[in-house]
Structure 1
Amino acid sequence: MASSPRCRRRAFRTPNCPIRCDRALLRRDVGLPILAQWRNHDGYDGIVFGLPGAPVHMELVHDGGRIPHPNPENQLVLYLGGAEAVEAVSSRLVGRGHRPVLAANPYWNTNHAVLFEDPDGWLVVLAPWVFE
């Protein structure tokens, strides 16, 4: 993978499962670069992923408290910009033992997205387009 982009303009945060789950799935299996990470900073663990080719980064934070239960409509959606990119990431995920799952929302199937469950049952959507 190319070096990490300088992503400083925008970020989004989400409460999440323990960071170890996200780190393995998003770094190793999806291939996102890690820009920063921390443990027990005022009671919070966190990790920041770069989103290659985009002026954004994604920060996942876990407060060590109660983790909400997965719901099929709580999803991390990665807009990958084309069918080839979705196929490359999907192949890497399948090669590491993950299996695609059916979407509860027919929108994703109609628009050729591929969904995978993370180790805690949360859904990661690989969408083959980007918003301009």
Structure 2
Amino acid sequence: MNHPVLRVARPTDNLPALLRFYCDGLGLQKLTSFAAHNGFDGAMLGHPQAPYHLEFTHQPGHVVGRAPTADNLLVFYLPDAVEWQAAVQRMEATGFMPVPSYNPYWDQQGRTFEDPDGYRVVLQQAAWAL
């Protein structure tokens, strides 16, 4: 059975700062990018073999603002403790420090980081399960 590929797309007012957060800090790769495509600039980030990617777009002259709440999350499950610790250290070495989670559940086994637009990413040291 084929499974769909997930694209999470959102606009930003600061594409370069988001690329630094998600690529340099989080370790995602820039899969492709575009400039002045129907009035938008953007980039798609992820891992080439992963069934998801993130798309960030910017429309010059249009203001989108920050995240509506501190509970807008992307959660990455990293069950391997060494891999999880390396991911947390990479974020901190890039200058992004953990923030307290709005929902304290995420602080029990994870670290939460806020991107330049106020959206939050949780690095959860656990296996994904329903």
TM-score norm. by structure 2 comes to 0.78
Which runs of no fewer than 5 residues in structure 1 stay unpaired? 1-7
Corresponding residue pairs, total: 124
Distance change (3 Å), C-alpha of 1:95 and 1:60:
same
Distance change (3 Å), C-alpha of 1:55 and 1:120:
closer
Which runs of no fewer than 5 residues in structure 2 stay unpaired? none
Distance change (3 Å), C-alpha of 1:41 and 1:52:
closer
Q: 1:102 & 1:46 partners in 2: Cα distance?
A: 30
Alignment correspondent of 2:27: 31
Q: 1:20 & 1:68 partners in 2: Cα distance?
A: 15
Amino acid at match of 1:104: Y
Aligned pair partner of 2:100 in 99, 102, 109: 102
Alignment correspondent of 1:63: 59
Amino acid at match of 2:122: V
Q: 1:50 and 2:42 equivalent?
A: no
Alignment correspondent of 1:113: 110
Amino acid at match of 1:79: Y
Q: 1:51 offset after TM fit, Å?
A: 3.0
Q: 1:12 and 2:5 equivalent?
A: no
Distance change (3 Å), C-alpha of 1:9 and 1:121:
closer
Q: Please say if residues 32 and 52 of structure 1, whose CA atoms lie closer than 8 Å, have aligned partners that are also in contact.
A: no
